[in-house]
Amino acid sequence: MHVQEWLETVPAVTVYALVGLVIGLESLGIPLPGEIILVSAALLASQHGAIDPVVLGACAVAGAIVGDSIGYAIGRKGGRPLLARLGAKFPRHFGEGHIATAERSFQKWGMWAVFFGRFVALLRIFAGPLAGVLRMPYWKFLTANVLGGILWAGGTTAVIYYVGIVAESWLKRFSWLGLVAAVLIGLTSVLVLKRKAAKSAATTAEPAAAGEA
DSSP 111-146: THHHHHHTTSHHHHHHHHHHHHHTT--HHHHHHHHH
Q: How many structural domains comprise the chain?
A: 1
- Within 13 Å and on the Cβ side, how many CA atoms surround 85? 9
This prediction has a pTM of: 0.68
Supply the pLDDT for residue 60: 94
Supply the pLDDT for residue 65: 94
Residue 84 CB contacts under 8 Å (≥ 6 apart), including other chains: none
Domain that residue 98 falls in: 3-212
Residues of the chain with pLDDT under 70: 1-9, 48, 79, 82-99, 102, 122, 166-187, 189-213
Supply the pLDDT for residue 133: 80
Q: What is the C-alpha separation between 139 and 111, in angstroms, rounded? A: 10
Cβ-contact 136, 127 below 8 angstroms: no
Supply the pLDDT for residue 41: 84
Supply the pLDDT for residue 168: 57
Supply the pLDDT for residue 55: 94
Supply the pLDDT for residue 14: 86
